């Protein structure tokens, strides 16, 4: 058994147990620290931005194993997402893309279920309603006209765009693709800095689209580089390239990936912000390394065999994934409900700074399955 497949089998075993522990509720982050132990003390009824990741883990587990127990649990989550959209519950944010790509769209990808396809298209329409015509961007959080967030974009949104590109492929309606491209272009121009680092967020005047400036929400300072934001950018621009074939997106993904890998600490898994002072107390963000790894696997799939940066990217990927499996994975530790320890949600806010994160688990499993079986998750069909 390869060390990837042993890690996958352990994660599948935990997922089997978690189905019983979670029931119809959804995991988010652990709150018990020390690397993170339990999701089950902090479940939600499908009201958080992270709930698609549990659905995605179940679909990946089913696709990998063929085990019907995973399929029926995954299909139940899609019903929950149907009710969430019908009731417009906790959807006043752009993470509709994360939520419905990994649940309804995943079900359509796995088993061509027509009602799941319809649900994912309805979710794409909901995401489209966040596009602000005057400013020409997708508003990240809160209602239109919100005094703090009305003009805010965030780098994480690049991972929400695949739902729109996919909706274009499904329907032929150009508006979906145009919206995704306008937003990706704006993100490239304003969130990515000249030295290939990134802002977490950027503000525009909502009435005119005039740029105001960058800042952070979860990073160390406004001008620092939050490692998870950089990872969302690596994967998000690679996906915009896959759908649009605009070489600028491929180049941007690669620049962000090189910046990330050139700053790996000795053990190969990043701290929570590239500019946070490093000492024995500095928190890691294992989820950032998991997202970056899955994103670099996507990126590598688009590069020429002769690309001069291929070696650096492949070596960095192996270092990251090997360290996650050897030093951060919970393999053999059944007291922990997640797959990788030491994610951080929001360090300066003191929200789960050293914990399990359900998105870290999803991307770790996706990256393992990409390495082991060439399975690519649910960002595209
Ligand atoms: N998208 C929110 C986060 O990464 O914490």
Q: For residues 336 and 329, what is the distance between their CA atoms, to the nearest angstrom?
A: 10
Identify the bridge partners of residue 29 per DSSP, sorted by sequence position: 357
| Residue partners of 301: CB distance under 8 A and separation at least 6 | none
Distance 276 CA to ligand 1 centre (A): 18
Give the closest residue (by CA) to ligand 1 atom 2.
156
CA 29 to centroid of ligand 1, rounded, Å: 11
- Per DSSP bridges, beta strands 152-154 and 211-215 are unpaired
Q: Active-site residue among 51, 95, 196, 273? A: 95
* pLDDT score of 82 more than 80: yes
Q: What is the pLDDT of residues 301-328, one digit of tens each?
A: 999 999 999 999 999 999 999 999 999 9
Residues 231-266: pLDDT tens digits?
999 999 999 999 999 999 999 999 999 999 999 999
Q: What is the pLDDT of residue 241?
A: 98
Active site residue 273: no
Residue 83 clears pLDDT 90, i.e. is over it: yes
95 is catalytic: yes
Ligand 1 and 156: CB distance under 6 A: yes
Cα–ligand 1 centroid distance for 345 (angstroms): 7
The CATH code of the domain at 3-373 is: 1.50.10.10
Rounded to the nearest angstrom, the distance between the alpha carbon of 114 and the centre of ligand 1 is 30
Q: What count of other Cβ atoms lies within 10 Å of the Cβ of residue 315?
A: 11
- Under the banding of pLDDT at 50, 70 and 90, the label for residue 52 is very high
Instruction: Using most ligand atoms within 8 A of CB, pick from 152, 201, 218, 272 the residue to mutate for ligand 1.
Output: 218
Q: Mean pLDDT of all residues in the chain?
A: 98
Asked whether residue 1 carries a pLDDT value surpassing 80, the answer given is: no
State residue 31's pLDDT score: 98
Q: What is the pLDDT of residue 3?
A: 86
Residue 228 Cβ contacting ligand 1 at under 6 Å: yes
Separation between Cα atoms, residue 99 and residue 102, nearest integer Å: 6
Average pLDDT over residues 352-366: 99
Per annotation, catalytic residue among 10, 48, 156, 273: 156
Of 154, 160, 137, 264, nearest to 215 by C-alpha is 154
Q: How high is the pLDDT of residue 232?
A: 99
Expressed in angstroms and rounded, the spacing between residue 373 Cα and the centre of ligand 1 is 27
State the pLDDT confidence band at 2, using cuts at 50, 70 and 90: confident
CA distance 372 to 199: 33
* Domain segments of the chain as ranges: 3-373
283 pLDDT band, cuts 50/70/90, is very high
What's this model's pTM, rounded to 2 decimal places? 0.98
The pick from 28, 49, 141, 288 for probing ligand 1's pocket by mutation, whose C-beta has the most ligand atoms within 8 angstroms, reads 49
- Which structure tokens are listed for 51? 């709930």
Mean pLDDT on 164-176:
98
């Amino acid at each position: 058994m390869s060390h990837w497949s042993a890690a996958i089998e352990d994660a599948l075993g935990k997922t089997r147990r978690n189905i019983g522990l979670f029931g119809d509720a959804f995991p988010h982050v652990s709150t018990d620290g020390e690397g993170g132990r339990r999701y089950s003390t902090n479940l939600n009824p499908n009201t958080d931005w992270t709930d698609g990741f549990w659905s995605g883990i179940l679909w990946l587990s089913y696709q990998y194993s063929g085990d019907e127990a995973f399929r029926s649990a995954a299909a139940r989550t899609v019903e929950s997402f149907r009710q969430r959209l019908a009731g417009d519950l906790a959807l006043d944010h752009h993470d509709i893309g994360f939520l419905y790509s990994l649940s309804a769209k995943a079900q359509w990808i796995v088993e061509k279920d027509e009602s799941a396809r319809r649900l994912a298209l309805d979710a794409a329409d909901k995401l489209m309603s966040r596009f602000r015509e005057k400013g020409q961007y997708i508003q990240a959080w809160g209602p239109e006209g919100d005094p703090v967030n009305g003009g805010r974009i965030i780098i994480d949104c690049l991972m929400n765009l695949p739902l729109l590109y996919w909706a274009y492929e499904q329907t032929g309606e150009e508006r979906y693709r145009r919206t995704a491209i306008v937003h990706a272009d704006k993100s490239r121009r304003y969130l990515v800095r000249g030295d290939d680092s990134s802002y977490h967020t950027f503000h525009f005047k909502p009435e005119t689209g005039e740029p105001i400036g960058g800042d952070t929400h979860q990073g160390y300072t406004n001008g620092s580089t939050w490692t998870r934001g950089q990872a969302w950018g690596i994967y998000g621009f690679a996906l915009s390239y896959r759908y649009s074939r605009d070489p600028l997106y491929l180049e941007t993904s690669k620049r962000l990936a090189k910046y990330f890998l050139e700053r790996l600490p000795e053990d190969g898994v990043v701290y929570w912000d590239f500019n946070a002072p490093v000492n024995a107390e500095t928190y890691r963000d294992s989820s950032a390394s998991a997202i970056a790894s899955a994103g670099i696997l996507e990126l590598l799939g688009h590069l020429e065999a002769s690309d001069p940066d291929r070696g650096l990217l492949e070596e960095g990927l192996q270092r990251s994934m090997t360290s996650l499996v050897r030093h951060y994975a919970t393999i053999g530790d059944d007291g922990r409900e997640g797959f990788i320890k030491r994610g951080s949600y929001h360090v300066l806010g003191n929200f789960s700074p050293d914990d399990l994160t359900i998105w870290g688990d999803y991307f770790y499993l996706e990256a393992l399955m990409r390495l082991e079986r060439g399975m690519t998750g649910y960002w595209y069909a």
